[in-house]
Every structure is written in C-alpha cells, then in structure tokens.
Structure 1
Amino acid sequence: MENISYGKIVLIGAGHVGSAILDSLLRMNLADEIVVINRNEKKALGVVLDASHTTAFAYSANANIRVGTYEDCKDAQIIINTAGPSIQPGNSRDRMVLLQTNVQVMKEIMTQITAYTRSAIIINVSNPMDILTYIAQTEFNYPRNLLIGTGTLLDTARFNKMLADLCGVDAKNVTGFVLGEHGGTSFIPWNAVNIVGIPFHDFQKQFGLKEPVDCEKLLHEVKVSGLDIVELKGYTSSGIALSVCRLVGAIMRNERAVVPASVVLEGEYGLEGIAMSLPCVISRNGVERTLQIPLDKEGEKNLKICYEYLRNVIESIS
C-alpha cells in the first residue's frame, strides 16, 4: 500500500463545480493540502490563487492550495473527480447526453490515477454518475470500497428540504432517502420516510397538512430541480459542493455516517452488474458497508425499473 498523506485532497477539474468544492472544503476546514488538476493550467492557477487569498481570514484554515499533476495522486487521501462536460442550458434534460464524452474522460482520468495509486478514496462527481462510477471501479479493478459516487446524496438533500417545508420543520429532522439512479429512474422508499420517528402515513395528521403529500409530484420536483437550476442559473454548484463535503467530512473524521452514495452492487437486493445509490456507512475506509432498506412492493418495483435501465445503458456501451 502506498504511503497516504492524511488531509491531502486532489481535486480534478477547476470549473464551476470544482471551484465551489474548493471553496467549501476551505470554509469547512476539511483539508490540510488541496492540489488542483485541470487541463487548462492557467485556469487552475487562477482558481488556486483566488481561493488561497481566503486563508488569510480567521474563519478559513491555512490549508496549502496549489496547482499539481496526476503524480500528486500517489499519496493523496481523497481524490475528487469533477472533470468532463456538464449539462448546459438548452440541452436535453437528461444527464445521459454526456455519456459518450464523459466515459472517455473517466477512462483517461482513471488511467492516470491508477498509475500512481490504488489507495486513495475516489469521489466521483461527474455525470452520468452511476455509469461512470461503475466503469471506473470495474474496468480499472479499483477497490470497491474506495470508489464512491455522490449519487443521490444531493437528490436526498433536495427531497428532505422540500418535504420539511411542506411539514413546517427543519430539513435536518427528516429521515428519508432518494435511492437508485442519479437521474430519471431514482425512487423514494416512502415506507422508510419519517420525521423524528413519525411515519410518513401520519404526516397529514401530525403536521396539520390540508391534504396528503403528493408523492409523485414531490418526487418529480426532486428529479427536475437540478435541471431547473441549470436553466435558471446556467449550472449547479452550491448543493453538489456541500454533498462532496459531506462525504469528505465523514471520511476525514471517520464518522461512520449513513448517507446515500453510488457504489457498485455486489448482491444487494440480489443485484449486481451496475452502480446505484444505496445508504452507505462512510468512514476513513470509504464505504464500510451498504445497507438495504426494507422495501414495500412499490419500492421493489421501482428498484427493478432503475436496475434494468442502468443495466441496459451499461450493455449499450460495453
């Protein structure tokens, strides 16, 4: 095993998402050293210089921030991949339009990373999330527990916020997961949704709702919210940056936090041959284990739909 420099993060990509992640990592004091890699080194240098000046303020840790190369991966604790094109305003509202281009980008990046390390925890942010996570792990034989996609972590945050607003509570009091694909076939196991132990079917009575929560409408709003932000703002950055920081924090602090993340399946729910989001226990070892939420019949049906869709996409590019 390579020597790991604990607290060292390599950030691949210096676009809107990469820059937002860098800023959030600094604000949350999550790293000692951050190395930025970008094809356009001048842009990387600009991002690094801009961020480095914030370390003079009291609320920002004095982390070492610099431009680097893939050789810096050799002792990194965490590598964050944001490289490749993102959905643009006016594009198809489907992350799969990025498939062919970003598959090649991911293969190039994994070739570079694996030349230097197989010990770093890789967090994949690039889309289509689950397909790229699957390819990165299986085609390069990377340790399964060390390759994590952000998956439906941001979808889950959006869902928790929307449901909390309906019920008039803090989103942090909602326990509920969006699972499956980071995309159109994602689903919510409603039988597992609760607020401080109050089950979903009691929400109308307990929180004085005028009518029951419209499950289909809420799930649709969760699915399209990111695409809506792209159309309105031009890109998404804040939410995904904190999603990455949630994973980084769980790793750095060895939290064993349970969060939804995309991993390659190894028999969960009797499935394999894809990556999708399940609740994962995240620690300094990456994915300690995956958890299988008990699914009702609707959840089982939605899981099957998601699996078959992702499997078909993987077979189409094999």
Structure 2
Amino acid sequence: MKVSLVGLGKVGSAVAHAIVLKGLADELVLVSRRTEIAKSEADDLNHAAGLEEHSVDVRAGGDLDTADSDVILYCDASPAKSIDVDRYSAARDNLQRLHERIPTFAAGSPQAICVMVTNPVDVMTWFALQMSGFPQERVFGVGTLLDTARLRRLLSEKLSVHASDVRAYVIGEHGEDQVASFSTASLGGESMKPSEDLALLARQAAESAGKIYRTRGFTNYGIAGATMMILESIRNNRRRTAPVSMRINDYYGVKDVCLSLPAVIGRRGIERVLRPELNEAEQAAFHRGASRIREAIEVLTPSLEAVS
C-alpha cells in the first residue's frame, strides 16, 4: 500500500515514525515544502526501518510524487505564531495551503482515501471534501478520536479498568463544544449515567491538549496514535469503530457540515456511520459545534473565491 504523508512538522514527523515502527505502508512518500527536510527525514526513517522486521520503503517527494497513493495523510500546517491553543487561529493560512495542493493530489490519486489531520480539522475536512470531488466516505478527518482516547484514559483510571473496555465517545466538534456522549456510554454492558463527576472528567479531557500545548508548544504523540489507528484499520480492513470528522447528513437536524460521529473504518474508508442517541444537553452542544463550524466555513469561503 502506498501512503503519502503531506507535511513534516512535529505531527507529520511523529506520524511518519509510527508508520515505520508499525509497518503500515509498503511505500511511504514524505512531502514537505522544504525538500531538504523531507530527504533527511526519509534517510533517518529508512535507517530506523532497517531495525524492524517489516519493510517500509521511505522516500522524499513532491506533490506530483503522491500519484497513485492508496492513502493521503494530510498534516500540512502553517507555523504556529504564538502559544495560542485556538485551533481556528491558523485556519486561513492552512486552508490556503490546502487550496493550492488538493487538486494535484486528487488528480494523481483519484481512488485514494484522504485523512485530514491538520486543524481546524472539521473545517479542513469540509473544504477538502469540496475541493477534491471525492465521495464523502473517502475524505474524513481524525476528528474527536484523540479526544475520545483522552476521555477513556481518565475514565479507566477512575473506574480501575483498561481504557479499551470503556465504551464512551466524544463526538461533534473537535474543539470547545465537543460532546462527551455519556447518555450512551457503558462499561461491560452497564450504563454510565451522566453525572457531575463524569462531566468533570470530560472537561479535564477537553482541556488536556491545551495544558500540553502551553508547556511543549505542540502535541504530536497522541494525534500520531489516533492517525495510526485509522491507517491500520484501512490497511488491514480492521473495521474499527472510531469517531471521525465527516460530512453530517441530517443528524438531529444538522447537515452539510463536518463533525465527528462514530464510524466503521475499513479498506474503503468509512464503511458505515453510527448515529448514537443523545440527550437534550448533548444535542445542544452538538448544535453549538455545528454552528461554530458553519460560521467558520462562511467566513473563510470568500477568501478562497478571491484567489480562484
């Protein structure tokens, strides 16, 4: 399987390293605006690959070298200008980069699955879907998968169980109005009733990225892990269920905007979308997230039309 990784910042480099360690590609093309960085990254990763049992052929390339990719992992982002943790602060610059590059990727790899990693991921996913012309099952973002992992980790510590045994999802916006859907959460078939204690854990999970960002200036291991879960499910047709950012088609009245819902991920991309029942408070938060994404789309669209 050919995987093209676009963008080699802190996140892209962590993703590339994880691919090599897990052997999740036969061919890995690294694409960076700084060609010398991509070449050095490829050399370093090939050295690392030589110590693994599986073989991954890593090479540097440009946008045209992504042709015939099975999966495109889009991590390209403009450099952070401050320690501001607002995921929307770089939206205009990141979107302009996407606008310049996605036609080449789509033309060269018309059957590829495109996984958006760059923030604001819900906005970027929506525009990638429009610009690529791909069907919606083949363009989606990592969305709230990492948010879900953070919440499950906190729940597992509180309940003294393994995180993989916790059935709880964070859905909706990857941001302020993310929804911890406790009304459908369970452990061993036993329901988790919404409570103030659970709400506190949800807030801690939502704030954890900001704490890391303010200390390190970035987060990368967690998002790399989330991306690997998606890539492994595609490569091996694992049909794992993960909350990913996708185009919403009339879920509690929300449509034509990208937010996260649990989906079954397989070799064809999104194989099935799940639609959990939400209580009134969760529905309200989901709608607030939808309004925020729709507003961002409306604000950003004219800037793209001006350069088209």
Contact 2:262/2:274 (<8 A) preserved: yes
Q: Which residue of 1 aligns with 2:148?
A: 156
Contact 1:36/1:48 (<8 A) preserved: yes
Moved over 3 A (4+): none
**Residue 50 of structure 1, aligned match among 23, 36, 44:** 44
**Residue 123 of structure 1, aligned match among 100, 115, 118:** 115
Contact 1:26/1:60 (<8 A) preserved: no
Q: Which residue of 1 aligns with 2:305?
A: none
Q: Which residue of 1 aligns with 2:178?
A: 186
User: By how many angstroms is 1:60 displaced?
Assistant: 4.4
**Residue 21 of structure 2, aligned match among 9, 17, 27:** 27
Q: Which residue of 2 aligns with 1:133?
A: 125
Contact 1:124/1:149 (<8 A) preserved: yes
TM-score (norm 1): 0.90
1:240 matched to 2:234? The reply is no
Contact 1:73/1:113 (<8 A) preserved: yes
SS in structure 2 of the partner of residue 96 of structure 1: coil
Count of matched residue positions in the alignment of Structure 1 and Structure 2: 301
Using the TM superposition, name which of 65-74 and 34-43 deviates more: 65-74
Contact 1:86/1:127 (<8 A) preserved: no
Q: Deviations over 1:234-289 (max 9, x none)?
A: 21111111111100011011122111000111223332121000001111000112
User: By how many angstroms is 1:150 displaced?
Assistant: 0.4
Structure 1 unaligned segments of length 5 or more: list them: 1-6, 203-211
Contact 1:152/1:277 (<8 A) preserved: yes
Q: Which residue of 1 aligns with 2:246?
A: 263
Using the TM superposition, name which of 111-120 and 146-155 deviates more: 111-120
The amino acid of 2:134's aligned partner reads Y
**Residue 73 of structure 2, aligned match among 62, 76, 80:** 80
Q: Which residue of 2 aligns with 1:272?
A: 255
TM-score (norm 2): 0.93
The amino acid of 2:142's aligned partner reads T
Contact 1:87/1:95 (<8 A) preserved: no
1:282 matched to 2:276? The reply is no
The amino acid of 1:66's aligned partner reads R
Q: Which residue of 2 aligns with 1:216?
A: 199
2-side partners of 1:56 and 1:140: how far apart?
36
The amino acid of 1:83's aligned partner reads D
1-side partners of 2:240 and 2:111: how far apart?
21
SS in structure 1 of the partner of residue 2 of structure 2: strand
Using the TM superposition, name which of 241-250 and 290-299 deviates more: 290-299
User: By how many angstroms is 1:213 displaced?
Assistant: 5.5
RMSD: 1.6
Q: Which residue of 2 aligns with 1:209?
A: none
SS in structure 1 of the partner of residue 90 of structure 2: helix
Q: Which residue of 2 aligns with 1:4?
A: none
Q: Deviations over 1:112-166 (max 9, x none)?
A: 2123122100111001110010011023322211111000000000010011111
The amino acid of 1:97's aligned partner reads S
Identity %: 29
